[in-house]
Structure formats: C-alpha cells, structure tokens
Amino acid sequence: MSNTRLSKRLEEQFFDTIFPALYSPYSIGLQAGTLPFEKFCKSMSCESLFLEEFGEWLQMAEEQVTNDFHVFSLKNLRKSICRYACSRAQIAGDMGEFTTTSLHTTTKMSELLHSSEHGNAKELTPSFVLAIIASCFRLYAHIYSTVAWNTAHSFNRWFDMNYLETTILEIENTFDELSYSLTREDSIKVEDFYQQALQLVAEFFATLPISEESIVPLYSALDRLNVKLVFFSNFDLTCSLDDSISFLEELATSNLSEPKFDEVFPNWQSRARSYIDKEKICMRSVQNGSPAPTFDYEGICIALEQFAKFEMEANTTVESITTGDNSRKVESPMEKREYFASLKARTEGDKFTIYIGRRAGDLLCLLEANIGIIIDKESLGPLCDHFAIQLKPLHSSVVENQNQLSLDLPHCWKPLSGILYYVDSWAEIEAFILGW
C-alpha cells in the first residue's frame, strides 16, 4: 500500500471529476459575482440538506465502530458539520428561500450508501460515509475558495475559508484513520465509492438551474449568438498528452518476433532520444538573444523559422525508415498556420476558434485562435516567457469574462492578443466547452 494518505491520493486520482462542477453556470456565476442572490440562497438551502444527511450518516457510522477514539472523532465531526449546516440554512432562511424538499442527489447518495449495508461491505460503512463527505467538502473548497479569499467579493461575507479548511482537515483525518487498516480489496471498494459520490456532487452543481445567461458551456453560449465553434487540435494530442512516437513504436514492433524486436526496438529508442535532444537544442537556439519586452507576433514568426528547419529534417529521418508514400504538407509552424487559416475560411458565417496544442510548432495557430489552449504549460512556458506571451489559467479567464457578457462573446477572447491559456487535462476543456 502507498504511504500517501488515502484522502490525498483520492483527491488527486479523481480530480478530473470536479471540472463539470467548476465550469458550471452556477460556479462561474458565483465566482464572478454575477449569480442572482436568490439563486445563491436557494443553493445554500440545498447545501444545508446535504449536510443534515451527512450528520445522520455520521451518527450511523458511530454505531458501527468499536474504537473509542474513532467514536470520539466521529462525534466531534458530526458537531462541526451540524454547525456548518446551520450556517448554510440561516443564509437561505433569512431570504425566505429555505426548502425541505428531498434532493435527487441526496436520494442517490442515500441509495449508494445503503447499497453497502449488505454482506461483508457493511463493516466498511464508516469509511463509505467519510468517503462521501470528504469528496463533497473537497469540491466545496474548490468552488468557494475564489470567493472566500477575496474580501472585495460580493459573496465573501458568507464564506469563512479558514473554518471550511479546518473542517475539511478534520474530515480527512478521520477518513484516513478509519481507512488505515483496510485491505487492498477493501481500499478499492472505498475508492470506487469516493468516485461515485464525487460524481453525484459534481452533477448537483453542474445542473443547478441558473436563469441568467452564462459564458459556459461555451458551445451553448455561442449557439445563442448564432456563432459557430470551430475546434482544432495538435494531432499528437488526439492520441495522448505525449508525442505520438510511442504509438508508432508500438505499431511497428507489436507483431515482431523476439529476435526481430531486439533488432528494431533499440533503433526506435535511439531515434526518439535523438529527436528530443535535438528539439531541446533547437529551442535554446530559438530563444537566443534578449527576451522580447512586449508581444511581437512578427518577431515570433521569424524566430520560429529555425524550428521549421528542424522539423523538416526530423521528418526526413522518419521518412527514411517508413514504407509507402508520405504526404508532407504541414511540416512547419508557418505551413500549419496557413492550413489553419484555410480551414477557418471554409466555415461560413460568424465563427469562434479554439486551438489546442503543446509544442513550438503550434504556437502561431495558438496565437491566431480566439482561445489558444496549452495542455501542460511547462512545455511552452519558457518560449512564451521569452516572447512576452502571457500564460493564464483558463478557469480564471472564464470567471473574468463572465462579467463581460454585455459584449459579444467573441470580443471576450480576441486572436493575436498575446495571451494563451493553460489547462492540465482534456477533462477541463470538455467541461468548459460542453458542460455536464
């Protein structure tokens, strides 16, 4: 078993699950301060129902444990969550928005929890209860942190991040204590339970009805304006987050006999290492000289001519070990930009472009799109710094632009602005564009 705390490991393992909630109209509106106050109060009422259920489940968990220390921890945790529930209910009650209607999500969670009360899984009920609560509060922290740490935010007065983080630490410590002695098989059951619970809470936030127009999901926002979304991606990123050479290598060697494999595989490895080493040398060469004081698109085009030469030489090397005819049409950043422009020209009417990339060859297309998104900012970070290209997290940009909906949406993100956006995974891009 890993020495990493179970709560921390599960948070990292299932982090992609939270993006539909983070990019929901509710969350973006709340963080931008544009959420109607009655909608906020309604959500606090729903949240208080969540927390009341949690209190009942913790009481049930107390009855399942025999260790006095664990009983004490669960009692204290139940008190903390009840206090938190009261604070949420008070916000809703003060505005006359309190609801006692059972929520679909709490019903589904209850069904999920009670499904564990049969056979050998019953003894895991305390861990299952804490898995639900830990996943839910972690999601709260991600959604509310922007509001809680900004004292000028219109919703700040209703959030105490220090109290929330203290409660989360208490929840996760108790969860880790109860799960410490789990077998590998039982740990897998708890992991699965955590993921299902997190999906239910994410679904709750992602589907909260918000009446005002929202910038997310982007596809829906553009559709309201009769603007077509045109989406492009670096080819390698459609295969993996890495270079596609690993897939080509697997295809080339999968059906080889062992003697032939031993002959071919080292050749592939050598060529892959050579490409990576030469690319690093080329990038250092491109970044020779003083960093640009301001964004200079033409200067970037000139500098990338060195990279274009490197790419064409690398393609010649690949061509020498492949069979059949190879069509070499888009080999340089400039050729890729031209092809990108021709594809945009084929789309009639108003259009909004997104380009996804992670390599130097994508840079011109990234800059010419309305939104250029880099997966893994470390890959292009030094190059962007050298040419005074700003790198911003996509999520904070969405929150910022939520306040500009009075403008046409395409004006929120403009081509050749000298700004690119970064994400860590495709899941974040999917949540931003398509939503739940």
Q: Note the pLDDT of residue 266.
A: 76
Render pLDDT for 351-392 as a digit per residue (tens, 0 to 9).
999 999 988 889 999 999 999 999 988 889 999 999 999 999
What one-letter code names the amino acid at 168? I
pLDDT over 60 (residue 422): yes
Render pLDDT for 239-248 as a digit per residue (tens, 0 to 9).
544 555 666 6
Render pLDDT for 209-225 as a digit per residue (tens, 0 to 9).
776 689 999 999 999 88
Out of 33-42, 168-177, 251-260, 279-288, which region has the weakest mean confidence (pLDDT)? 251-260
Q: Note the pLDDT of residue 207.
A: 86
Q: Note the pLDDT of residue 241.
A: 47
- The residue that leads in pLDDT, 222 or 256, is 222
The confidence band for 31, taking pLDDT boundaries of 50, 70 and 90, is very high
Q: Note the pLDDT of residue 276.
A: 73
pLDDT over 90 (residue 111): no
> What's the CATH architecture for 6-212?
Up-down Bundle (1.20)
- The residue that leads in pLDDT, 202 or 3, is 202
Q: Note the pLDDT of residue 245.
A: 61
pLDDT over 50 (residue 201): yes
Rounded Cα distance, 3 and 17, in Å: 24
Render pLDDT for 7-22 as a digit per residue (tens, 0 to 9).
999 999 999 999 999 9
The confidence band for 250, taking pLDDT boundaries of 50, 70 and 90, is low
Q: Note the pLDDT of residue 420.
A: 98
Return the axis-axis angle of helices 68-94 and 37-62, rounded to nearest 10°: 160
C-alpha radius of gyration, the chain, whole number? 26
Rounded Cα distance, 133 and 136, in Å: 5
- Give the residue extent of every domain in the chain: 6-212, 213-436
